[in-house]
Each structure stands twice: as C-alpha cells, then as structure tokens.
Structure 1
Amino acid sequence: MSDPFVQRLRRLDACAVSDALDKLGLAGAVTGIPQRSGPDHGGGRIAGRAVTMKVGPGERPPGPPVHLGCSAIGLAGPDHVIVVEQRSGVEAGCWGGLLTLGAKVRGVEGVVADGPLRDVDEAIAYGFPVFSRSLTSRTARGRVVELGTQVPVQIGEVQVQPGDYVLADRSAVLFIAAADIARVLEAAEGIVAKEAAMAKAILAGTPIAEVMGGNYEHMLQKDS
C-alpha cells in the first residue's frame, strides 16, 4: 500500500514545501542538483522515502562483492527515491545506465545524486527521473566504490537518514525527517491554499500590490 504521506507530498511543489520548512525553522532544501532526465527529458516531480548510498574512494565493506548501486536497488521500489552521496571530489560516476534501468524495472520513483551522473542519454531514453550535481563519462571502476547502503549521507548541507522523505522538482531537492513529515505537510498545504486564494483574487482583478502586501509578507510567520 502506498505511503499516504508520500501521496500528499507528491501533490506539492518544492517551493511550497521549502516555505513550510522555513515556517517551522527546519533545514532540508538543497539547490544546485538539477533534473537531468525524466518522462519529458527533464520535467516532472518525484517524491518518496530515501534509500541511501554512500560512494567514494576506499575499500568496500567486508562480504561478497556487490556492484555499486545494486544493494540500494534491491531495497527500493515504488514510493522510494535512491539518494546517493559522492562528494569525494573524484570525477567518477556514482550512477549509470544499467543502474537506471534496474531502478526503473523495480518501480523506483527516481534518483538524487550529490555527485556525477554517467550515461545521461540512457536515463533520458528510459524516461527515468535522475537529479545529479554534475555529469561525467568516467567510470567508477578503479576510482570509487560503494562505502555503504542505508547509511546517513550528506546532500548539500543536509544530512539525510534512510527513510527520510524526499521531494524533488526543477526548483530544488528537499529532505524531510520522518518525525517532521506530518507538520511539514500540514504547513505546506496551508501555504498552497493561501496562495491559491491570492491567485484567485488577482485573476478577479484585485491589484497585485493589495493581494501580496500584508498576506504574502506574513505568510511564513510561525503560528502562536
């Protein structure tokens, strides 16, 4: 059964949720990770719960060797977003074409990578949403390894825990702790309702300065 919080989150845009985070004094917004692929070659919103993966130089964890990304894909499915940290400074792909296909087949909502994406044309061809910090042709082989799956990862200035909620669109990528999701959704839905009423007033001919003056400036004040 689909997570009802994910369903509600999917109906909201990143700016409304970012405003809700501001209103509640919470961090979580990350910019500079644009969408590289999707159903219309870069459009569309994704939402889900984070399955995390950390990639960088070093030694793989002990145990049978598993190709980078396969463990995360095996744990993920509908209502999940795979979130990858590759902030090592080494130019090497932390996600690529076969992984994209594997995630798509599993029904994963999309991938957010703070690091380089490889095989972007394949992701576009598959119509699968991937957000990444940069693009590269350079393989991970001999450069970086998977350091852990379902571990805390750093995306921008935000630390993301496995199971955190993720929302991403063309404006930003947002992360919301599971403990905060209910109040963030409530605040964001309230902001959307107020903005819809303001838009209706503008369409009805109310001068925009009158609509936005007091209403807009005080919208994010914390409730008493």
Structure 2
Amino acid sequence: MNDTTMTTKEKLKKVSTATVATCLFKRGLKNQFVQNVRPLKSGRPTMVGEAYTLRYIPAREDLNPIEVFKDPKHLQRVAVEQCPPGAVMVIDSRQNARAASAGSILITRLMVRGVAGIVTDGGFRDAAEIAALDFNSYHNRPSAPTNLTLHHAIAINDPIGCGDVAVFPGDIIIGDDDGVMVIPAHMADDVADECLQMTLFEEFVMESVQKGETIIGLYPLTNNETKEKFEAWKKTKE
C-alpha cells in the first residue's frame, strides 16, 4: 500500500504523537497535547479516530442519586451506546479524578461496539481490568468512586475541554505511549501526509546518527550533500 492509497487514519497510525505535535506547531497550533493523560497500558497500537464527546459538570446531590442509572436516557449510558464504531470517546471530567469517569463494564461495551478508544482527563475505576482489555484507554489516574459522587453528565457531542485542549466533535484524536494529540478535523488530511514524510525523514536521520554522523546539517536538514543522500535513500524505500 503506497501513500496515495492509504486513508488519513491509516497514515496517522504510522506516525507518533511527537511528530504530530511538531507538525501542528509549524502550523501555529501549540496547545493540542492533552495534559496529564496517560495510557492505562503502554505498547499498544496507535489509537486514531474521530472525537465523540461527553461532558461532565459538577454533580449535585438532588440530581445524582444512584437511581439515576435506571433511566435509559442517562447521558453517560446513551453516549456509550451511540459512540460510532471507529470513533474515540473523549470525556471532559474537568481534570478531576476524585471520582471515576467510567469503569470496565462501560468501556468493555465500547470495545465490543468497535469504538477505537477512550480518553478522559479524569480517572477510570477498575483500572487493572481496563488495562487488560484489547482497547486503547487513557486517563489521569485510577479512581474508585462512582462518577455520580462528583460528575453530572450534561452533554453529548458538544465542544469540550479535555486536559486543557479544546476538542470539537469530529476532530481527529491520536494516542500512543507518549499521550494524546488533537488534530483539527479540517487539517487532518494535510497533517497526515506531512507527518508521514516527517517520519520517513526521521528514519533516515536515526540510521545516519546510529552510523556516527553529526546532527549538524542533518537535523534539521540544511546540508545540500546530506539532502542528496536523503533523496537517494528515499528511493530505496519505494
């Protein structure tokens, strides 16, 4: 499969969040890395999908007794059942992990439905069980209390903030062992193409450095002779 036949998602699965961060910085976007969020399990394949959002506000005791979960229209449950296959559920938990954003049952349901992953700037309960799933999950830290003690689900698929980053429905979410980046939807295609080329160049740079070459003129690429070497090297990868 060559670059022209790969989808944007397929391209992004081949690049790192670090490369995406640099690419977005070159476009003037400096605040697209979700703060204080980490994978429950490292070493998993890169997570890529469109953002589907859930927003919490602070819970209020008269509105959040345990009985509200019996309501089939409870927004947390509705979000789990409506999040599209291939999307990433992103939860605005106000960067508060004192109560769980969700637990292993709901996250297993997302996995079975074909969702690509889940991200919260709060915490998950049943963290060890979630980490054992074949599913990409990112949070701040483990948290045992039910979300009802702290969070009130108020909106689905609205613009939210997650880890100090604005997330709009349909933005592209990419996550790896370093964390989670948010790519504005309208520039995702161009970012994916550029990141693939950046990744190819970084592979050339790493091979060169491992052979003992200096980084001066190589990274960034300013030496004309090195540019010619890179062009020749690229042809061997086609």
TM-score higher than 0.5: yes
- Distance of 1:186 and 1:82 partners within structure 2: 24
Aligned to 1:128: 135
Aligned to 1:49: 50
Q: CA deviation at 1:104?
A: 1.0
In structure 1, the residue corresponding to 2:199 is in which secondary structure? Answer: helix
1:33-56 Cα deviation digits (max 9, x unpaired): 01013xxxx322211101100123
Q: CA deviation at 1:101?
A: 1.0
Does residue 19 (structure 1) correspond to residue 22 (structure 2)? The answer is: yes
- Distance of 1:90 and 1:131 partners within structure 2: 12
Coordinate RMSD, CA, aligned: 2.4
Q: Aligned pair count?
A: 207
Does the aligned pair in 2 maintain the 1:165–1:176 contact within 8 Å?
Answer: yes
Does residue 5 (structure 1) correspond to residue 12 (structure 2)? The answer is: no
- Distance of 1:215 and 1:169 partners within structure 2: 30
Q: What does residue range 133-172 of structure 1 map to in structure 2 within 5 Å?
A: 133-172=140-179
So what's the TM-score if we normalise by structure 1?
Answer: 0.82
In structure 1, the residue corresponding to 2:188 is in which secondary structure? Answer: helix
Does the aligned pair in 1 maintain the 2:55–2:93 contact within 8 Å?
Answer: yes
Does residue 81 (structure 1) correspond to residue 111 (structure 2)? The answer is: no
In structure 1, the residue corresponding to 2:209 is in which secondary structure? Answer: helix
Does residue 32 (structure 1) correspond to residue 36 (structure 2)? The answer is: yes
Does the aligned pair in 1 maintain the 2:36–2:121 contact within 8 Å?
Answer: no
Q: CA deviation at 1:214?
A: 5.2
Does the aligned pair in 2 maintain the 1:9–1:167 contact within 8 Å?
Answer: yes
Q: 1:180 aligns with which of 187, 205, 208?
A: 187
- Distance of 1:193 and 1:73 partners within structure 2: 37
Q: CA deviation at 1:200?
A: 2.7
The 3 A distance-change label for structure 1 pair 138 and 159 is same
So what's the TM-score if we normalise by structure 2?
Answer: 0.78
Report the AA paired with residue 171 of structure 2.
D
In structure 1, the residue corresponding to 2:54 is in which secondary structure? Answer: strand
Q: CA deviation at 1:109?
A: 1.2
Aligned to 2:3: none
Does the aligned pair in 2 maintain the 1:68–1:145 contact within 8 Å?
Answer: no
List gaps (5 residues or longer) in structure 2.
1-5, 65-70, 224-238
- Distance of 1:88 and 1:172 partners within structure 2: 15
The 3 A distance-change label for structure 1 pair 215 and 76 is farther
Report the AA paired with residue 100 of structure 1.
I
- Higher Cα Rg: structure 1 or 2? 2
Q: CA deviation at 1:83?
A: 0.3
Does the aligned pair in 1 maintain the 2:72–2:78 contact within 8 Å?
Answer: no
Report the AA paired with residue 54 of structure 2.
M
Does residue 69 (structure 1) correspond to residue 73 (structure 2)? The answer is: no
- Distance of 1:90 and 1:158 partners within structure 2: 17
Does the aligned pair in 2 maintain the 1:35–1:43 contact within 8 Å?
Answer: no
User: Kindly, what percent of the aligned residue pairs are identical?
Assistant: 25
In structure 2, the residue corresponding to 1:79 is in which secondary structure? Answer: coil
